[in-house]
């Protein structure tokens, strides 16, 4: 009877440990998937940011040239 009780407790604990391990494994898989998705999103956003920075630099150069032209024309008028 005592051995049966110990066997039952052992089996119960083994099942609980197996469930806990399955839960941990599932959590790890979810976290790994989310980390990969976050890295892909970060890479995409960094690429988009680089494009916007290039556009800003181009616009700033064009603005500077326009200001020079305006200043030159303004001085010719006076």
Average pLDDT along the chain, 78 residues, taken 10 residues at a time: 67 82 95 98 98 99 98 93
Cα 23 to Cα 75: distance, rounded to the nearest angstrom: 76
Cα 2 to Cα 31: distance, rounded to the nearest angstrom: 43
Q: Look up residue 49 and give its two tokens.
A: 């940011």
Following CA atoms 52, 55, 61, 67 in sequence, which dihedral angle do they give, to the nearest 10 degrees?
Answer: -90
DSSP code for 78: -
Q: Give the mean pLDDT of the chain.
A: 91
């Amino acid at each position: 009877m005592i051995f049966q009780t110990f066997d039952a407790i052992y089996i119960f604990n083994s099942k609980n440990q197996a469930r806990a391990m399955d839960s941990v494994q599932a959590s790890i898989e979810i976290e790994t998937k989310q980390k990969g998705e976050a890295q892909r999103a970060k890479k995409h956003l960094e690429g988009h940011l680089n494009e916007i920075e290039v556009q800003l630099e181009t616009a700033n150069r064009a603005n500077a040239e326009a200001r020079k032209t305006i200043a030159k024309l303004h001085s010719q008028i006076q």
